[in-house]
Structure 1
């Protein structure tokens, strides 16, 4: 028996046939034609999945379930609002069931889906309580308890990127001030480094950007950190301070077995993990006790497909 996982993004949709060991056997992708509207995108996804099966001599009857990761919150009525896709309270689950009547379909937020993948076959495998932070342009995350995604009573849970952890000098994209996303995303790293440079601080980061402050990216800041650049040191140490604060709060609340870090920012795992446990220990309640292992995600971009395939 096989599973299908579908990872829906703002620019592309990736689908994969996954076996019971979590191995992606076959994969196919298509463009997310946002301008064509919700129904057309759903038709494209339907065609994508069915072509993937046909090309690999599989029938829909060979598939136990199809799971979908979507960059949005899905409420208990199956409605989705996703500004990046131009979807406003579209009935996502109804659309899936209409197009795939032969098989069970499931869907969750894409960061939650990635956490399921890591919990099933990656960095959080075989752990009863597992937390994943996806650090990219924004901050997403997922909570997996006893192998199942936790999203709360109304489907709004696991939005850990929007935990309020302090006051910031700019608001989060969600409109609130102090969200973890506004401290620990790639965007936040870039903004803070730019702020220091604009205040007159000297930095090799600007040289890396060929003098154009608008071209600064997070990788440059991490590279400059390795060169002991003062702006980079302050920026990344600030980032780690707030990340450890968020993790400490999660440990005090859920006492997870493991916390995994994924997303593009996690490519600098040597810097992020260095000393992070010490920072967390300073802020947790029971400072002398063992607490969650802090690790980096291992499935990379495949976590979305694999996690979606094993939703239930």
Structure 2
């Protein structure tokens, strides 16, 4: 029997057949947002059938189809996701109708990525772990006693919306001061643009071919390595709020390990530099030990691997 993991994103759906923690067959499809809920269901059905066709197998040989989705999943498998136009839609129930003899599990995508790290990667061997994904936004996944935790109403892992401080722009969720408005790639870009727009000179703009709209987080980190003053200011601010977010998580959950993933984590040397030392200064009762900070093992495949193991 095989397991299939599906990673539903805002622009594409990726799926994989997983055997002993290894993805042996992959399929993907662009998301058709115009169809809403039924479009997502149709696209999931499509990638599953593509995998079956590629492998030359039938659905009867599949034990589990796990789906990670960028939104809130309640205990009944109903899903809400602004980016996909889903609002309390019965995704799990609908997929069970289509794949009637297969176990269907739907979970938040950040929890799914955390579960991949728990099963096969950086958090393996730890009972209580937290994954922070630093990408376009900030996501969070919590593993407690070997199981993803999302709370009573499915929003217990929304770490990106911990409110840390007031900020000069609002979060997409409508609040001000969310973790992701300080520590996401978007936040890094926005702050670099703000400083350059105020007249500060920077090699970041040269990297962006003198178009402020072309700035990426990678450009900021590359400029930081060249001691660019704007980049230093941006990274210093990013790391300060990353520390604040991690300290809040440690005080609330007290995990054994915190794994940092997402595209921003590619700048791991900069991120980890001095991070644990600063954490030790700010966490209370640190004489009892505090969470180990690591960089996640998996990048693009985390969603597929974690979903397949649900």
- Do both share a fold (TM > 0.5)? yes
1:6 aligns with 2:14: no
Q: Quote the Cα distance in structure 2 between the aligned partners of 1:79 and 1:309.
A: 19
Q: Secondary structure at the match of 2:301?
A: helix
Q: Secondary structure at the match of 1:176?
A: coil
Aligned length: 310
Q: Secondary structure at the match of 1:231?
A: helix
Aligned pairs for 1:289-300 within 5 A: 289-300=288-299
Q: Is 2:111–2:141's contact at 8 Å kept on the other side of the alignment?
A: yes
Q: Is 1:241–1:279's contact at 8 Å kept on the other side of the alignment?
A: no
Residue segments in structure 2 that go unaligned for 5+ positions in a row: none
Residue segments in structure 1 that go unaligned for 5+ positions in a row: none
1:87 aligns with 2:86: yes
Q: Quote the Cα distance in structure 1 between the aligned partners of 2:171 and 2:43.
A: 33
Output the TM-score relative to the length of structure 2: 0.96
CA offset digits 1:60-103 (Å, max 9, x no partner)? 23222110011111123332222221223322122111111111
Q: RMSD of the TM alignment (CA)?
A: 1.3
CA offset digits 1:35-58 (Å, max 9, x no partner)? 233213312321321231232132
CA offset digits 1:175-199 (Å, max 9, x no partner)? 1111100000001011111111122
Residue number in structure 2 paired with 1:109? 108
Residue number in structure 2 paired with 1:184? 183
Further displaced range: 58-67 or 8-17: 58-67
Residue number in structure 2 paired with 1:121? 120
Q: Quote the Cα distance in structure 2 between the aligned partners of 1:305 and 1:278.
A: 34
Residue number in structure 2 paired with 1:281? 280
Q: Quote the Cα distance in structure 1 between the aligned partners of 2:282 and 2:167.
A: 20
Structure 2 vs 1, CA of residues 250 and 40 (structure 1 numbering), >3 Å: closer, same or farther? Answer: closer
Residue number in structure 1 paired with 2:214? 215
Residue number in structure 1 paired with 2:41? 42
Q: Quote the Cα distance in structure 2 between the aligned partners of 1:41 and 1:168.
A: 34
Q: Secondary structure at the match of 2:139?
A: strand
Q: Quote the Cα distance in structure 2 between the aligned partners of 1:258 and 1:287.
A: 14
